[in-house]
Structure 1
Amino acid sequence: MRSLLTASLLVLLTIAPAQAQLMDVLTAPKTLFDRAIEARSAGDIAKDNEIVVKVNGIMGKLATIKASTEIYEQRLLITGIFDDKALYDRFERDVRQVQGIKKLYWHVTYLAKDDAKRKALLDWADVTVMATKAQGRLVGTAGVADVNFRTTTDAYGTVYLLGRARSGEEAKKALARVRDGNGVKKVVNYTAVRP
């Protein structure tokens, strides 16, 4: 089991962007277990993994770690901030050509290196902590199947909720839990409600 976990972590580290790498390392044992008990087919999870590998391949080809991905049922959420407009444009163009994406939630922005707005952005460590806490608040919440939700945060203080709720009540609980965090300025909800 330990060698399987180690091998899985090494694969994740080679294909995932920096923020995602840290999140996977911090949550790896739980994440691997949760993926195994998700209320989805192995084929559906495999389709998600294939899409993420392709997007990470684009990032590798462009030599950038400026974006982060979350995916659920081929609904792909991408966040990030680029300071090179040509790189931003190429990344967006290449991602939009990836086959198999049912819905793309594009929350990647271009912001010049010298833009004064950068001073108000959260740093990488704060973003990572906020994202970890948002997902953590779902764990153990009565009536919320946290394995069916993905959360991430961006440098603007926005928390994103992606996934599937089995009822409207579960969706409301999950949304309330991710909203209830220090520094959360906005929540974007991409929860599908379906039993």
Structure 2
Amino acid sequence: MRLTAFLAAVGIIITALPAHAQLLDVLTAPKTLIDRAIEARSAGDIAKDNQIVLKVNGIMGKMGTVKASTEIYEQRLLITGIFDDKALYDRFQKDVKAVEGVKKLYWHVTYLAANDPKRKQLLDWADTTVLAAKAQGRLVGTAGVADVNFRTTADPYGTVYLLGRARSGEEGKKALARAQDGTGVKKVMNYVEVRP
């Protein structure tokens, strides 16, 4: 019953999102929906996370940009991305900081001019997506790590971000080690809270 209600709610949420915001959700939906349904969290907590992400996606839709990516766990919001328009970057940051319900904001969005030569050294969208997916995949195969309580993402700089909750210090260390253990990973930002 809980899974059915959750899947129905997610279906409504997904159809409310702009088409460009739905792409990644569609690509990762089956695993994401199942994982979130079996997490050791209440449906209310998951609903709060979904409401926050909807608000941020709404901000991106209103601005006509897909330059940012979100991950969230227990209302701790992680945002990554690169903007090439400084005014848009500033407006996006201001609007995201005004979103209610966010307990902690991990802001990893940068401004980098379109003609900046540093852009040539960055990973493209596909490589960034693969880096993040492989990091999450390594968690799935690790004994003693409840991968459903962790979120991973990556950015074009080769940084992998680990967000979530570990049930013990040992589990947190294993998850961090697996996030670091990947080709192309230059750095890992660890935002895991340890709590039984």
Q: Same fold (TM over 0.5)?
A: yes
For residues 37 and 113 of structure 2, the distance between their equivalents in structure 1, rounded to whole angstroms, comes to 41
The aligned residue for residue 190 of structure 2 is 189
Match of 1:12 among 11, 14, 23: 14
The percent identity for this pair of structures is 78
> 2:100 maps to which residue?
99
Q: Is the aligned partner of 1:144 residue 2:140?
A: no
In the other structure, the counterpart of 2:162 is: 161
Distance in 2 separating the partners of 1:136 and 1:9: 25
1:76 aligned residue: 77
Matched, 1:180 2:185: no
**Residue 142 of structure 1 aligns to a residue in which SS?**
coil
Partners of 1:29 and 1:80 in 2: CA distance: 24
User: Which aligned pairs between 1:21-170 and structure 2 lie closer than 5 A?
Assistant: 21-170=22-171
Deviations 1:55-87, CA, capped at 9 Å, x for gaps: 000001111000000000000000000000000
**Do 2:77 and 2:104's aligned partners in 1 also have CA atoms closer than 8 Å?**
yes
Aligned counterparts of 1:17 and 1:153: Cα–Cα separation in 2: 22
1:181 and 1:16 map into 2 onto residues whose CA distance is 33
Aligned pairs, number: 192
1:172 Cα offset (Å): 0.3
CA distance in structure 2 between the partners assigned to 1:15 and 1:128 by the alignment:
20
**Unaligned stretches of 5+ residues in structure 1:** none
Contact 1:17–1:68, Cα closer than 8 Å, also in 2: no
Q: Distance in 1 between matches of 2:193 and 2:41?
A: 14
TM superposition score normalised by structure 1: 0.91
Structure 2: runs of 5 or more not aligned: none
Q: Return the letter of the residue paired with 1:151.
A: T
Q: Distance in 1 between matches of 2:190 and 2:18?
A: 24
